[in-house]
Amino acid sequence: MSEATLEHGPAAPSAETIDNYKLGMWLYLASEVVIFGTLIAVYAVYRLNNAESVQHVQEELGLTLVSINTFLLLASSWAMVLGLREAQKDNPQGIVRWIGLTALLGTIFVVLQGVEYTELGHAGIHLGNEYGMRFYAPTAFHGAHVIIGVLWALYVMKQARKGVYNAKNYLGIEIFGLYWHFVDVVWIFLFTLIYLI
């Protein structure tokens, strides 16, 4: 065996190529699933054993505000993918427009959630309540994720303006998309579990 064969040129991919960042983001989301799972479980246990008192609070809550919020978030996801689509179509302005819409919708969502919280506060539902704490923990944790998402969207817009993204390179948007859609999915469950059931 000769020294020469100890090392050679660049290695060929040993399997189907998956981008590092994409896999990394998916793994991160995997752990997020478990955290949200824990918080939701805590709520679900209470809901199971205190059906009537939850019913009562749900009447307090009402559905208008949160229904609007749900549509906002769904729409923001839609805007998000269309932004990605523009990138794949080599259209920077398109990206800025759609991602901008995403950020806007996200912001409104947070604001409305703030409004809802203050209303609930007046209705006497706060962290000290048996219901309150179990309600705020998951929703506020989700809200925090939306805020982070909005900031991230602004960053993506900045990059897009710089013309970073194009049909060849739209990974940055795709990764952000994964995060944003995940936050959307979490809301889909929170909406059904906390407000409808």
Partner 1 sequence: MTDQQQGAQDAHDAFLSDTTSIFGREITIQGGIYTVVFILLAVATVLEIIIGGLPEGVLLIPLLLAFAVIKATLVVMYYMHLKTDSRLFTWVLILPLLIALAAMLYLLAAPPTGYT
Partner 2 sequence: MATITATPGLGSRTTEGAAIRAADLLRWSLDHKVIGLQYMASSLFFFIVGGTMAMLIRWELLTPALDLMADGTQYNALMTIHGSVMIFLWIIPMMAGFGNYLVPLMLGAKDMAFPWLNAFAFWLIPPAGVLMIAGWLVGPPEAGWTSYPPLSTLFSPDGQTMWAMSLHLLGVSSILGAINFVVTIRNMRPAGMTIWKMPLFVWAVLATAIIQVLATPFLTGGLTLLILDRTAGTSFFDPGSGGDVLLWQNVFWFYSHPAVYIMILPGFGMVSEVLAVHARKPVFGYRAIGLSSMSIALVGFTVWAHHMFTSLQPALRIPFMITSMIIAVPTGIKIFSWLGTIWGGKIRFTAAMLFALGFITLFVFGGIGGIFLAAVPVDIHLHDTYFVVGHFHFVLFGGSVFLIFAGIYHWFPKMTGRRMNERLGQLHFVTTYIGTFFTFVPQHIAGALGLPRRVAMYDPAFTNINTVISLAAFLLGISSLIFMYNILRSLSHGERVGGNPWRGLTLEWATTSPPPPWNFRGDPVPFDDPYGYGSDESGPYLDAVERRFPAPEEAAGA
Confirm or reject binding of residue 127 to partner 2 (CB under 8 A): yes
* Residue 178 binds: one of partner 1, partner 2, none (C-beta under 5 to 8 A by kind): partner 1
Amino acid at 88: Q
Looking at 53, 57, 65, 74, which residue binds partner 1 (CB under 8 A)? 74
Give me the least distance between CB of 3 and partner 2, in Å please: 5
Q: Kindly tell me the sign of the dihedral angle through the C-alpha atoms of 67, 73, 74, 75.
A: positive
Give me the least distance between CB of 181 and partner 2, in Å please: 19
Token pair in block for residue 49? 């054993």
- Reported as type and span, the H/E element at residue 9 is none
DSSP annotation string for 143-159: HHHHHHHHHHHHHHHHH
Confirm or reject binding of residue 31 to partner 1 (CB under 8 A): yes
Binding residues for partner 2 restricted to 24-83, rule: CB under 8 A: 24, 27-28, 30-35, 37-39, 42, 45-46
Give me the residue label for tokens 């923990």. Answer: 137
Stretch that binds partner 2, among 9-17, 62-70, 160-168, 174-182 (CB under 8 A): 9-17
Q: Kindly tell me the sign of the dihedral angle through the C-alpha atoms of 51, 38, 133, 138.
A: negative
| Measured distance CA(152)–CA(23) in Å, rounded | 19
CB 65 within 8 A of CB 112: yes
| Measured distance CA(197)–CA(191) in Å, rounded | 9
CA contacts within 13 A on the Cβ side of 161: 7
Which residue, 12 or 64, has its beta carbon nearer to partner 2? 12
Confirm or reject binding of residue 77 to partner 1 (CB under 8 A): yes
Which residues are at the interface with partner 2 (CB under 8 A)?
1-3, 5-15, 17-18, 20-21, 23-24, 27-28, 30-35, 37-39, 42, 45-46, 127-128, 130, 133-134, 137, 141
Enumerate binding residues for partner 1 (CB under 8 A).
16, 18, 22-23, 26-27, 29-31, 33-34, 36-38, 40-42, 44-45, 48-49, 63, 67, 70-71, 74-75, 77-78, 80-82, 85, 88-89, 177-178, 181-182, 184-185, 188-189, 191-193, 195-197
